Structure formats: C-alpha cells, structure tokens
C-alpha cells in the first residue's frame, strides 16, 4: 500500500493576508501615537508656558518694587520693554519674547500666547494668578477667559 503524505510546509494565503493586515493596523496605531508634529507642538507649548511664567514672575517682581505694573504699549500689543520702561528692561525683562501679548488696566494685568497644539491661548491674569487655557473670544480683556 502506498501512503500519500501531504507536505504542510509554508503558509496559506489567508494566513499571510491576516498577518499583513495585523501589521498594518499596528503600524497605523504606532504612527498616530508617535506623531512627530503633534509631539513637537506639545513640547513648544511647554516652552510657551514656562516663558509665560518667567514673564509673570518678572512683572510681579517689578510691581512689588515699583508699586505698579508697567504701562502696555497699546491695546493688544506686546510690551516694548526698551521703550515703555527702562527699569523693566534693565532689571527684569531683558527682551520680550515674540508672540506674548501684555494687557494691563492699572491694578491688574494679563499676558497671553497662542498655543501651538490648538487655536486656543495660554493666558495668565493677575486676577486669577494662574495660567488658563482660553478661547479667542475674550482674550483681550484682563480678567476674562472663556474655557473650551
């Protein structure tokens, strides 16, 4: 009697399709998780928040020694430290970073900067004494913030 042996070496086409599909799904999840552009935006947001806190600390120190906040350069204009107040430029803020907008109304101030990861703003107000995530709706008023 002759026996027929079937060789089971290799993979079937169905097994190969399943493996390729699984690898494709896993790579898509990995790429969306490790999105370089989004990670860069989040890192830049961290830098923006830290710069904002550094500016706040300088302005609060200025206020403590000079008994007032510096005048703004105009509504919604960055504070020009060299033209607005020589004391501020000499001792507290060497150069005002680009994009940070300073508003003051005499007894209070706010600073805001556009976030890199969304269309919202980081805003600090001396009224709240904290950084908040605000929508563009009420960004130019010192004490207001509409949260998303």
Domain ranges of the chain: 38-138
Average pLDDT for the chain: 81
Rounded to an integer, the average pLDDT of 21-40 is 87
Token pair listed for 105: 């109304």
Query: In angstroms, what is the C-alpha Rg of the chain?
Result: 28
Handedness of CA 40, 145, 61, 100 (dihedral sign): positive
Between 138 and 130, whose confidence is greater?
130
- Report the percentage of the chain scoring pLDDT > 70: 81
Distance CA 27, CA 24 (A): 5
Q: Are 45 and 122 in contact (CB under 8 A)?
A: yes
pLDDT at 76: 43
Full-model pTM: 0.69
């Amino acid at each position: 009697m002759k026996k027929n042996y079937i060789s089971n070496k290799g993979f079937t086409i169905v097994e190969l399709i399943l493996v390729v599909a699984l690898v494709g799904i896993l790579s898509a999840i990995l790429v969306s998780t490790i999105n370089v552009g989004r990670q860069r935006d989040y890192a830049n947001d961290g830098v923006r928040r830290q710069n904002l806190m550094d500016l706040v600390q300088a302005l609060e120190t200025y206020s403590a020694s000079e008994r007032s906040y510096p005048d703004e350069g105009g509504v919604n204009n960055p504070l020009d430290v060299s033209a607005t107040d020589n004391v501020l430029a000499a001792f507290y803020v060497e150069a005002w970073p680009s994009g940070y907008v300073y508003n003051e109304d005499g007894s209070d101030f706010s600073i805001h900067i556009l976030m890199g990861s969304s269309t919202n703003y980081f805003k600090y107000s001396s009224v709240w004494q904290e950084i908040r995530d605000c929508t563009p709706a009420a960004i130019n008023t010192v004490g207001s913030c509409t949260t998303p």
